[in-house]
Structure 1
Amino acid sequence: MTGVLLFLLAVLVVFIFKWSTSTFDFFRKQGIPYRKPVPFFGTYLNVFMKLKPFNEILHDWFYEFENEKISGLFEFRRPIVLIKDPQIIKQLTVKEFDHFTDHRVVITENMDPLFGKALLNLRGQKWKDMRSTLSPAFTGSKMRQMFDFMSTVAIQTSETLKKDIQNGKENILEFKDFASKFTCDNIASCAFGIEVNSFKDPTNDFFQIAKKIMNFGNIATALKMLGYFICPTLMSGLGIKLLDKKSCDFFQIALIETMRNRERLGIVRNDMINLMLEAKKGKLVHNNNEDSSADGFATVEESHVGKSKVNRKWEELDLAAQCFIFFIAGFDPVSQTMSLMAYELACNPDIQQGLYEEILQTRNEIDNQKINYEQLQSMKYLDQVVSEVLRKWPSAAMTDRLCTKDFDLKYDNKVMKFEKDINIFMVPIWMLHRNPKYFPNPEKFDPERFNDENKHKIQDFTYLPFGAGPRNCIGSRFALMEIKTIFYYLLLNFSIEVTEKTEIPLSFDKIPFQIRPAKGIWVELKPRT
């Protein structure tokens, strides 16, 4: 009996091995250079075993076939096409968008309704309809309506910090923690109409739940991510949630109850929930006279997809899911960008001084203490600094697209055959932004790359801080406004300086698909006299 069991076990092992390696000849058959895979993991062993920081892994992938426009990787057994040429990126994300409309989705709405119904994870026509529905909510005119909420939170943050330092509280701080509290308070106000002060009360439910949801760095979450990549249906069937279920349920209930109360009581507040209610009623439409020229260099333009008309009726949960993903996208990635901006300003005091002088000049030109939306957007050097932060430290290291229709990519006398629902292509944003061919001396922090004389020299599809094509980040204006607002008030009141705890150069955590400073961003905030 034991011999039979051992034989069956051996057969099973051989079968699994053969199955896991059955696709490994995909690129060889097409004459496409590819990174040698290993059984079960493909070329992702370093990623999920956390053997290297993800920026180093991207570097290895990008330069293994340095002179090739595309090369092959394997996500376990699935072929992944690494696109390194800007013209091919443009072709696939814009011109051939109908063949690559979707992101690779790990969690569907059947597995987790709140997360799966979010714009980021929707597919096909439902994604197109939701993008068209939401697009008017993220125009410059809507950002202008929200700006007063954001400015109020930024002033409150700055004033609380000043009082704390005057009362003897430590002025050397880990900036990511500081920025997380600001983004939490800001989104609570701008999106949900909830007034919190995470600096005075860091134990408030909103901030604590936000941290719990965004805790992607621990081992348990990494293992769950691995499980969802390998076998999402099994993980869902076992009831294993990637995000903390209790926290997600809290948001879902709070959002739906708030929407119902607003409708019942006729409450109108120019925030994200109000925009979702307008969308539900079909009243959220594009203003064709919208001028987006002053929204910042990094702002992405909406495509024809986002401007088309929609007749679909949305349920409460559909709209609550958009507020939820707006919170997730605006909490951690934006606070990470803020912390790296603080790092660069501390390490480059001459740049910080130039920015402070522009802020002071703007402050002296306005009639009251509160800056308005137009005045903030008119600050050219601030936009240059933020654009360079997003160049050197893009919040998304890469983006991807799933092939939704068979497509033959012809280039350099070669043909790469994309198969529907099989192939995914990856755009390595981090490596494009740090490629000396497109950005000379890429490790240097240089806002002058984005001045009026130089910014038009930047090659198309080499600068992609908010992605590319119709599936770009819908919230680029909000994120830019958020970053600019807090640094306007922060630098007006403090200088940001290097301390003994500041790590120069930065080292990075070994977290799958994320590039995160290993020891945090420590700076000193010195009150200005």
Structure 2
Amino acid sequence: MAVLEICLALLGIGFLIYKWSTATFKTFEKRGLPFEKPYPFVGNMAGSAFQTTSFQKQLTELYDRNRHHKIVGIFNMRTPMIQLNDPEVIKKICVKDFDYFPNHQIFLSPNERLVKDMLNVMKDQRWKHMRNTLTPVFTAAKMRNMFTLMNDSFAECLQHLNTASGSASGKGFEVDMKVLCNKLSNDVIATTAFGLKVNSFDNPKNEFYSIGQNLVFSRGPQFFKFMLSIAAPKLFQFFKLTIFDASKVEYFVRLVVDAIKYREKHNIHRPDMIQLLMESKKESQDNWSDDEIVAQCFIFFFAAFENNSNLVCTTAYELLHNPDIQERLYEEVKDTKEALSGGSLNYDAVQKMPYMDMVISESLRKWTLAAATDRHCSKDYTLTDEDGKKLFDFKVGDRINIPITGLHMDERYFPEPKKFDPERFSEERKGDLVPYTYLPFGVGPRNCIGNRYALMQVKGMLYNLLLNYKIEASPRTEKDLWGSARGFNFTPRSGFWMQLVPRK
């Protein structure tokens, strides 16, 4: 009898969990919006949730099946989201009628220290004040000064490669570009955002790198806690769970706060993010807390660490598969070096490499780092088409999805989308781009504030890499990157292996 009762109880609990997992799935049916059938718990995101495919590939396929709808309903786990497939609709919601959709949805738990103080998480007027205050921090003039710090990290990376080249007797040698670029990205963030000098090539177990790895939530235990926070946010908050270890977060708080105090006491100036934030705080009428200052440095781990590393990797991957493009880029790099007349690479020289910009732009299109961006409806809004016909009524609280990767791989906007073609972004052809179909850094007032920072790091690294090495395939180079990538980025499980051949 007891066994039967236990079985019935388990069945009852299982049924309740199932009902909970599907409780939101009638949302779009009730509101007359077309949608794709979701599955319990995972909605339309089974592939990326179970790490069997990349989020980019899954979202692209979802977009392809539904692109004939200007707007369509999708389910991110249990969360209903209204996806915008039409560039004109994207323009309306993200730019023209921005006041109705001014905020991002909150993916991370509000229990996370620093998270609520990050610019991209802030809402409404608080976001607007912080954005206006931080915008001067990312001007070309400020980036120009910061580039000198990046140069030191590039030099250390090259020294590491030269040592590896020497041990290979000057012949080509195999390298996991992802491991290399993660170390570089770590060192660049350490010096430009946290005012800390580390060399992860000489000391790969340094504290900053080890602790920083715990903040990357696109893999490992953080990924599963992140997925749980999306699937069951109320449960996550009820038990006061956090994705990040409090002691790891405290390490970065102390790093920044102590650096500020030391610089103020000793009147030290350094062209990094801490210095720029210190200056912004003095000029701002808002009385920033320590956590608000640290949070802006903290963003670099979420926005820059993985993305900047991946962009170098995917671009290098395309260059080894397209030797003619690599050779043309190498010629531009050589010309730039000659124009510097023995001087170090600088921000202005980087900006004067048009083909480099074309190559990076095409890499950002084909291997979209941010697969999607989002908005949150703050006021009821009626969407109409060009003729004034009603398309849909948005309600307060609706979550909006903009499928960047789907748009980038749509042959209507980018013919032969799987072909790597930098000429799409040439002066002659970039005028043909349909507005609001190319969105590598987001769209509208809430686009990425740090795009200059990201681009100068990636271009600086590729300049140094191509100047010294030819990039070729190695026996372990992934044959099908699109099919092999998993989760939230384009990193193959086997690694980003390629061959570097020293130039004569």
Class of the TM-score when normalised by the shorter of the 2 chains: over 0.9
8 Å CA contact retained: 2:216, 2:301: no
Match of 1:130?
A: 130
Shift of 1:512: 4.3
8 Å CA contact retained: 1:256, 1:316: yes
8 Å CA contact retained: 2:87, 2:435: yes
Change (3 A) 1:59 1:267: same
Match of 1:68?
A: 69
Match of 2:188?
A: 186
> Which is worse superposed, 357-366 or 67-76?
67-76
Unaligned runs of at least 5 residues, structure 1: 283-309
Match of 2:500?
A: 525
Change (3 A) 1:501 1:414: same
Match of 1:36?
A: 37
* Structure 2 residue 406 is matched with structure 1 residue 431: yes
- Partner of 1:327, secondary structure, is helix
Shift of 1:130: 1.4
Q: Determine which of 365, 369, 372 is the counterpart of 2:339.
A: 365
8 Å CA contact retained: 2:376, 2:399: yes
Match of 2:393?
A: 417
8 Å CA contact retained: 1:172, 1:524: yes
C-alpha distance in 2 between matches for 1:370 and 1:399: 37
Match of 1:235?
A: 236
- Partner of 1:401, secondary structure, is strand
Shift of 1:12: 6.5
* Structure 2 residue 172 is matched with structure 1 residue 197: no
Change (3 A) 1:509 1:214: farther
Shift of 1:281: 0.8
Change (3 A) 1:441 1:215: same
Shift of 1:507: 4.9
The CA deviation string for residues 78-107 of structure 1, in whole angstroms up to 9 with x for no partner, is: 321111111111111111111111111133
Match of 2:288?
A: 314
Shift of 1:17: 5.0
Change (3 A) 1:356 1:442: same
- Partner of 2:383, secondary structure, is strand
C-alpha distance in 2 between matches for 1:126 and 1:229: 24
> Which is worse superposed, 157-166 or 510-519?
510-519
Matches within 5 A, 1:300-339: 311-339=285-313
Change (3 A) 1:465 1:27: same
Q: Alignment identity in percent?
A: 38
Change (3 A) 1:256 1:524: same
C-alpha distance in 1 between matches for 2:128 and 2:115: 17
Matches within 5 A, 1:111-190: 111-168=111-168, 171-190=173-192
Shift of 1:10: 6.9
Shift of 1:67: 1.4
Q: Which amino acid aligns with 1:343?
A: Y
Match of 2:366?
A: 392
Matches within 5 A, 1:192-231: 192-214=194-216, 216-218=218-220, 220-231=221-232
8 Å CA contact retained: 1:403, 1:418: yes
Match of 1:344?
A: 318
Change (3 A) 1:225 1:518: same
- Partner of 1:119, secondary structure, is coil
C-alpha distance in 1 between matches for 2:423 and 2:6: 69
The CA deviation string for residues 219-243 of structure 1, in whole angstroms up to 9 with x for no partner, is: x334312321133343244343212
* Structure 2 residue 470 is matched with structure 1 residue 468: no
> Which is worse superposed, 13-22 or 321-330?
13-22
The CA deviation string for residues 493-518 of structure 1, in whole angstroms up to 9 with x for no partner, is: 11111111111222556744444323
C-alpha distance in 2 between matches for 1:372 and 1:345: 23
> Which is worse superposed, 85-94 or 408-417?
408-417
Shift of 1:5: 8.7
C-alpha distance in 1 between matches for 2:423 and 2:403: 24
Query: How much is the aligned-residue C-alpha RMSD, in angstroms?
Result: 2.4
- Partner of 1:281, secondary structure, is helix
Q: Which amino acid aligns with 2:97?
A: E
8 Å CA contact retained: 1:54, 1:513: yes
Change (3 A) 1:164 1:45: closer
8 Å CA contact retained: 1:48, 1:222: no
- Partner of 1:113, secondary structure, is coil
In the superposition, the TM-score normalised over structure 1's length comes to 0.88
Shift of 1:247: 2.2
Match of 1:300?
A: none
> Which is worse superposed, 321-330 or 21-30?
21-30
In the superposition, the TM-score normalised over structure 2's length comes to 0.92
Match of 1:295?
A: none
Q: Which amino acid aligns with 2:151?
A: S
- Partner of 1:431, secondary structure, is helix
Change (3 A) 1:244 1:336: farther
8 Å CA contact retained: 1:83, 1:428: yes
The CA deviation string for residues 351-385 of structure 1, in whole angstroms up to 9 with x for no partner, is: 11101111111111222231222121111111111
Match of 1:353?
A: 327
- Partner of 1:526, secondary structure, is strand
Shift of 1:333: 0.8
- Partner of 1:120, secondary structure, is coil
- Partner of 1:121, secondary structure, is coil
Shift of 1:215: 5.1
Change (3 A) 1:189 1:15: closer
> Which is worse superposed, 331-340 or 64-73?
64-73
Match of 1:489?
A: 464
